[in-house]
Structure 1
C-alpha cells in the first residue's frame, strides 16, 4: 500500500504535483491523466529521481522519501520507463541478471530468478540474444522481466504498451494481470490505452495539472463526466 500525503513538486513557478493526497490500496492501480498531469513526475518521486518540496510517502509503513534510489531498489521498488532502458551490448539474460547485483542475490538463486522471469515474459528462448538486436515488443517485455527479480514489492510501469500491436497488447494485459499472483508486488500502471487500464486495474487515480482529480474503481472513474471531459475528451 502506498500512502501519499501533501506531496508537492515545484520547479520555479511550476508545480508538476500540487498537494497530492491519496492512498493507493489495490494490487494493480491505474494512473491516468492528460499530458502534463504529473503522472511520470509521480513515478520519478517514488523512484527517488525527483525530491519533492513537501509531503510524505509511506510504503507499508516505511518512509520512502528518506531512502536513496538504491535503497528503494533494495526495498523492492522496480520500474520501467517510456524509453526502454535496455543495455544494448548485454544479452537478454544478463540484462535481467544485472539488476540482482543491486540487491545481493547471486549464484544459483540469481540464476533461478532470472530464468523464472524470462519464462514468465516469454523471453526464455532468446536469453542469449544481445539487447541491441531486440524489437520493440521484446524490449518492453525485457523491461518487465527486469522488474520481477529480487523480491519486488512495488512495480511502476510507465506506458509499457506504447507501440505494441493488438496481439502484443493482449499478451501484455495477460502478463500484467498475472504479476501479483506470480511475484507478489503491487503494480502502478501509467498508460494512455484506456482499454488496457480498464482490463487490468482494479482502481485508477486520475491527475490533472498536478492535482488530484479522482480515485476509485476503474469502471466508475472512466465513466465519470469530469474524467471523460478532462482526460478522454468526451462530452
Structure 2
C-alpha cells in the first residue's frame, strides 16, 4: 500500500501538486488528467527526482522521502519514462541485466530473473540482438522488462502506450494486466488512452492543476461529471 499525505510541490509560483492526499492500494492504479495536471511530477516525487515542500509518502511502511533515488531502486521502485531510454549499443538482455547489477542476487538467480522477464514481455527470441535494431514497440518492451525484472515492489509507467497501433496496445494491456501475477508488484499507470486505463486499472485518480478531483473505482471515476468536464472536455456537463 502507498500512502500519500498532504504532498505539495511548487516550482516558483506554480503549484504542481497541491496538498495531495490519497491511498493507492490496488494492483494497477491509473493516474489521468490533462497535460500539466501534475501526473509526471507525482511520479518524479515517488522516484526521488523532485523533493516536495511538504507531506509524507510511505510504501509498505517505509518512509520513501528519506531515501535517495538509488536507495528507492534497491527498495524495489522501477520506472519507465515517456521517452524510452534504451541503450542502442547494448544487447536486449544487457539493457535489462543492468537493473540487476546493484541487487543482492546470486549469478544464477540473476540469469533466471533475466530470462523470466524477457519471456514475460516477449523478447526472448531477440535477447542477443543489439537494441539499435529493434522497432519502437520492442524498445518499449525492453523498458517494461527492466521494470518487471527481479523483485520490484512498485512500478511506475509514464504513458507506455503512446504512439502504438491498437494491436500493440492490446499486447501492452495483457502485459500490464499480468504484472501482479508475475512478480507481485503494484503498478501506477499514466496514460491518455482511457480505454487502456479502463481495461487494466482497478482504481484511478484524476489530477487537474495539481489537485485531486476524483479517485475510486475506474468505471465510476470515468463517468464522474467533474472528470468528464475537466478531462474529456465536455463543457456542457456541469462540474
Please confirm whether the aligned pair reaches a TM-score higher than 0.5, indicating the same fold. Answer: yes
Whether the 8 Å contact between 1:41 and 1:50 is mirrored in structure 2 is yes
Q: Which 10-residue stretch deviates more, 105-114 or 55-64?
A: 105-114
Question: What does residue 155 of structure 1 align with?
Answer: 155
SS in 1 for 2:108: helix
- Aligned residue pairs, count: 235
Whether the 8 Å contact between 1:97 and 1:114 is mirrored in structure 2 is yes
Question: What does residue 52 of structure 2 align with?
Answer: 52
Query: Structure 1: any 5+ residue segments left out of the alignment?
Result: none
Task: Describe the superposition over 1:64-110 as per-residue Cα deviations: whole angstroms up to 9, x where unpaired.
Answer: 00001011011100010000011111000000000011223341111
SS in 2 for 1:192: coil
Question: What does residue 166 of structure 1 align with?
Answer: 166
Matched, 1:207 2:201: no
- Rounded Cα–Cα distance in structure 2 between residues aligned with 1:105 and 1:40: 31
- Deviating above 3 A after TM superposition, structure 1's stretches of 4 or more consecutive aligned residues are none
- Rounded Cα–Cα distance in structure 1 between residues aligned with 2:180 and 2:26: 11
Where do residues 1-235 of structure 1 align in structure 2 (5 Å cutoff)? 1-234=1-234, 235=237
Whether the 8 Å contact between 1:140 and 1:160 is mirrored in structure 2 is yes
- Rounded Cα–Cα distance in structure 1 between residues aligned with 2:134 and 2:42: 29
SS in 2 for 1:113: helix
SS in 1 for 2:220: helix
> TM-score, normalized by length of structure 1?
0.98
Query: Structure 2: any 5+ residue segments left out of the alignment?
Result: none
CA RMSD of the aligned region, Å? 0.8
SS in 2 for 1:7: strand
SS in 1 for 2:43: helix
Whether the 8 Å contact between 2:159 and 2:192 is mirrored in structure 1 is yes
- Rounded Cα–Cα distance in structure 1 between residues aligned with 2:137 and 2:111: 24
